[in-house]
């Protein structure tokens, strides 16, 4: 029996249907995992807030920790220059 007769088209219009289905399903699984992880992260921020931490500052720390040290130094220097220019020196 041919693929066309069984309904299991391995190639439709020059596209490998099984490969395409596999790729789509993998992305769908990863999106579900990402959704679950996002929910877990939100829960951690709720926990941090209930423990008295400022969530906005924690997010800023996380962003800074991802940066290269030279980039952090440059950003801090620019922030200091801009503050002083606006008379906001600390």
User: pTM score > 0.75 for this model?
Assistant: no
pLDDT of residue 15: 82
Q: Measure Cα distances from 11 to 7, 56, 75 in Å.
A: 11, 50, 53
User: Which regions of the chain are under pLDDT 70?
Assistant: 1-10, 90
pLDDT of residue 13: 75
Q: How far apart are CA 25 and CA 79, in angstroms?
A: 45
pLDDT of residue 89: 76
pLDDT of residue 90: 66
What the block records as the tokens of 71 is 């980039």
Q: How far apart are CA 51 and CA 34, in angstroms?
A: 26
Task: Give residue limits of the domains in the chain.
Answer: 1-52, 54-90
45 class by beta-carbon count within 10 Å (0-12 exposed, 13-18 middle, 19+ buried):
middle
């Amino acid at each position: 029996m041919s693929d066309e007769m069984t309904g299991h088209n391995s190639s439709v219009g020059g596209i490998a249907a099984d490969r395409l289905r596999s790729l789509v399903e993998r992305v769908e699984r990863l999106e579900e995992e990402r959704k679950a992880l996002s929910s877990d992260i939100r829960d951690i921020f709720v926990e941090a807030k209930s423990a008295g931490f400022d969530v906005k500052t924690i997010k800023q720390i996380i962003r800074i920790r991802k940066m290269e040290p030279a980039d952090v130094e440059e950003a801090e220097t620019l922030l200091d220059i801009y503050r002083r220019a606006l008379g906001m020196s600390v």
